[in-house]
A = this chain, B = another copy of it.
Amino acid sequence: MSDISSGDHDASIRPGEKSVALPDHYDAQVYFIGRIRTPWTDRGACPRRGDPQHGPVCILDIDPRWAEALTGIGENANLQVLYWMDQARRDLVVQTPRHDGSVVGTFALRSPVRPNPIASSIVTLLEVDGTRLKVRGLDCLDGTPMVDLKPEHPRG
């Protein structure tokens, strides 16, 4: 944890990266609606991006409070999952993702390091078992909190 140039934890900052002061207040609040179960327990093991066809089966474990909100979800072949990258720092405006010195703005990246660490993935829905949904296409750590779940496309 003492090596600030390390990429191994999200509090790190590399040469060329820049932070700004965060706003002095938040503007809105979120509820975690459940947790994502994946095979990956450390960040280094996570794939760079999920594969909705060939990736491993992962579980969306929805809080029982929201059980009825899943009514009819099985009709969708693909879902959009929004989740909260809760280990990421939020104050970087430019980042050096390629380790080659090139500097890219946070909003020009899909990095988890961003003002609001909300990730979005499209997954293939395999099975609905009560409040547990089997899907393919995720790339996040086991235990990642979920903030939303919706069909990829609006109802026709």
Contacts and interface: CB of A to CB of B under 8 A. Distances in A.
A106 B155 CA distance: 12
B93 A31 contact: no
A29 to B, nearest CB: 4
Instruction: State the number of copies, please.
Output: 2
A97 B155 contact: yes
A107 B149 contact: yes
A143 interface: no
A109 B28 contact: no
B22 A107 contact: no
A105 interface: yes
Given A66-B115, A105-B71, A118-B82, A28 B32 contact: yes
A43 interface: no
Given A105-B70, A120-B82, A148 B115 contact: yes
Contacts of A115: 31, 33, 66, 69, 147-148
B30 A72 contact: no
Interface of A: 18, 20-23, 26-33, 48-49, 62, 65-73, 75-76, 80, 82, 84, 86, 90, 93-94, 97, 103-110, 114-116, 118, 120, 145, 147-151, 154-155
8 closest pairs, A vs B, by CB? A71-B105, A26-B29, A68-B93, A69-B106, A72-B108, A27-B32, A69-B93, A73-B108
